[in-house]
Amino acid sequence: MKQEQINSSFNMRVWLITAGEFLPTDPNPGRPMRTGLLANYLADMGHKVLWWTSTFNHTEKVHRYPSNTSVDLSSTLRLKLLHSIGYGRNISFARLIDHWGIAQQFLIEANTEDRPDVIVCSLPTLEFCAAATQYGAKYKVPVIIDVRDLWPDIFLDLVPRGIASLWRLILTPLFRSAQLSCRRATAIIGPNQSFINWGLRNAERAATANDRVFGFAYPTAKPGDQEIVEAYRFWKGLGIEPNGDQFRVCFFGAISHQFDLETVINAARQLDSQGRRFQFIFCGKGDNLLTHKRQSEGCASVFFPGFVNEVQIWTLMRMAQVGLAPYRDTRNFAGHIPNKVVEYISAGLPVVSSLSGEFSDILRHQGCGLSYRGSSMEELVDCLNTLRDNNDLRRSMSEKAHRLFRESFTVEKVCSSMMEFLERGVRTQWNKSVQAGN
């Protein structure tokens, strides 16, 4: 099938723009994320892909290269890494300056590249989106904004409600940037309808057939046998083994303000006091890592292994019984099936989540998880005890999680749909509407 499509007479030149994802050139790459998966899929299908990103490794907080760098990954896929100052904390003015610098580099370097048929730019960053839509408007190239986080709205959740209006006033330039980018975009896509609706409100227009939902995807390929052996050895060295009667709860993500791990750590202490044999494994790095390590001192059931690679994630999910999604219940995750939830259900893990509203409804209707109020340690303890003590319920949720993943979130389903969407747009209405100035 791949070879037939590679030999197709129709090939697009696609620019994908994002910052913050793992790259295949990283020394310890994590799993491919949304842009990486799409880049590989399009390139495998014979489309020419230029992936614009940053020299700065967002997870490790180090520069990959000291200056702008281009890396050929294959005959159809090239990385273009742009350099700026970097930053030490995720929430900082240095990060905003870094993003602005990368966008300026893009506007310079874009003029040295062959013009694309279509651009797909992730939001965030706001600065990349502004630069991409500026380029698109100048050269009549369709630009698709992929809304992945509600920047800058999410910054309002970081301050008390009493000063949110003042904070919004301070952030006026960022709000205007989001509005301008959405207005200039040819189409707005995202992993859920609420994100698209947010983009449409910024664009001040009604939805069209081009504004589409594309969920997050997760790869299904099994790692190599030797890689799996080494990963299990890694976990054994930490006291986490496939055998035994521990009930394992895993978490993968940034140890940051987005997640309420304090409530989870308190739940772990409560379960310890009840004599329940649980293990809580929080994988990742972030601004709050040291704080949570101090909070968990003396609690033997809590583990912080740090950053783990793709194979270590794969093996831990096969040793765990539950995937934890302890999000702070903010506007950024309303009605959203986040990336990490897709990761969990790919392995058939029931999800225990703190999100309310639409996401809680999704878990209940799909039968693949339980919800608790984010600040309620007691409700979280009840959820975990329910799943530990009811094997039939857990087995049923696991089967339904697998089914939901197969039906909606495999790379083949998501990326093939995105590719067909881009091909159809390039062949038909997008270029016409862009050239007409719409």
Residues 418 and 400 in one domain: no
Residues 398 and 421 in one domain: no
Residues 213 and 265 in one domain: no
Q: What is the pLDDT of residue 133?
A: 98
What residues form DSSP beta bridges with 144? 120, 187
DSSP string, 280-311: EEEE---TTHHHHHHHTTT-TTEEEEES--HH
Mean pLDDT in residue range 45-57: 97
Pick from 164-168, 192-196, 346-350: least confident: 164-168
Residues 71 and 116 in one domain: yes
433 pLDDT exceeds 80?
Answer: no
Q: In this structure, what token pair is assigned to residue 26?
A: 């990283």
Residues 116 and 172 in one domain: yes
Pick from 83-87, 88-92, 380-384: least confident: 88-92
Mean pLDDT in residue range 385-410: 96
Residues 211 and 239 in one domain: no
Residues 382 and 274 in one domain: yes
Q: Do residues 125 and 148 lie in contact, with contact meaning Cβ atoms separated by under 8 Å?
A: no
Q: How confident is the model at residue 4 (pLDDT cuts 50, 70, 90)?
A: very low
Q: Do residues 132 and 119 lie in contact, with contact meaning Cβ atoms separated by under 8 Å?
A: yes
Rounded to an integer, what is the distance from CA 75 to the centroid of its chain? 27
Q: What is the CATH number of the domain that holds 163?
A: 3.40.50.2000
429 pLDDT exceeds 70?
Answer: no
Expressed as residue numbers, the domain containing 287 is 225-408
For the beta sheet containing 369-371, the strands, ordered from the edge strand earlier in sequence to the opposite edge, are 302-306, 278-283, 247-252, 322-325, 351-353, 369-371
168 pLDDT exceeds 80?
Answer: yes
Q: What is the pLDDT of residue 49?
A: 98
Residues 273 and 195 in one domain: no
Mean pLDDT in residue range 39-66: 96
Residues 196 and 336 in one domain: no
Bigger pLDDT: 256 vs 261: 261
Number of domains in the chain: 2
Q: What is the pLDDT of residue 434?
A: 52
**pLDDT digit string, tens, across residues 270-300:** 999 999 999 999 999 998 999 999 999 999 9
**Cβ neighbours around 241 below 10 Å, total:** 13
Residues 155 and 265 in one domain: no
**pLDDT digit string, tens, across residues 359-371:** 888 889 999 999 9
Residues 422 and 281 in one domain: no
Residues 404 and 423 in one domain: no
Q: How confident is the model at residue 153 (pLDDT cuts 50, 70, 90)?
A: confident
27 pLDDT exceeds 80?
Answer: yes
Q: How confident is the model at residue 356 (pLDDT cuts 50, 70, 90)?
A: confident
Bigger pLDDT: 315 vs 435: 315
